[in-house]
Amino acid sequence: MTIGEIAKRSGVAASALRFYEERGLIHSIREPGAHRRFHRGALRRIAFIVFAQKIGLSLDQVAAELGKLPPGRAPGRADWERISKSWKAALADRIAELRKLEAGLGECIGCGCLSLEKCQLANPADRLGKGGPGPRLWIRTGK
């Protein structure tokens, strides 16, 4: 498949596909004239990448899993079962983080602004500022 065909079929922009290829996540065969050709199995690898990103995993995490497979091989059922088990903890952490964010919408984010009335209650004297810059209540620690 050409890069245009695989982009259309996968729903991923050709520029992203080139980026994935540069990162070693997908592979193509170069024809004379430097045209890229992808095997149909690349579609599964691309779907795997897109899915992983949608659940909040980084491309480094995706690359680590795909790196366990022979180059160019798409994850099969057994691979997916193994990988999905290892990602459940990361997904559970992500869900917990999103629930915390949802519960805190409209509340203090620990930025140290002290401009909202609620900040005086949640962050008196900017005590959270001692922990460093940024939204201290929402920054993950220990990861």
Per-residue 3-state assignment (H helix, E strand, C coil) for the chain? CEHHHHHHHHCCCHHHHHHHHHCCCCCCEECCCCCEECCCCHHHHHHHHHHHHHCCCCHHHHHHHHCCCCCCCCCCHHHHHHHHHHHHHHHHHHHHHHHHHHHHCCCCCCCCCCCCHHHHHHCHHHHHHHHCCCCCCCCCCCC
pLDDT tens, residue by residue, 16-56 = 999 999 998 998 988 788 788 998 889 989 998 998 888 88
26/24 Cα distance (integer angstroms): 6
68 versus 46: the higher-pLDDT residue is 46
Which residues, in sequence order, are CB contacts of 43 under 8 Å at separation 6+? 6, 9, 10, 74
Residue 126 and residue 109 in contact, taking contact as beta carbons nearer than 8 Å: no
pLDDT of amino acid 17: 96
pLDDT of amino acid 140: 61
Q: Which residues pair with 36 in a beta bridge?
A: 30
Report which of 131, 94, 135 is spatially closest to residue 111, judged by C-alpha positions: 135
Hey, what domains does the chain have and what are their CATH numbers? Answer: 3-102 (1.10.1660.10), 106-143 (no CATH)
124/13 Cα distance (integer angstroms): 47
pLDDT of amino acid 114: 62
Which residues, in sequence order, are CB contacts of 51 under 8 Å at separation 6+? none
Q: Which residue has the tokens 């609620």?
A: 118
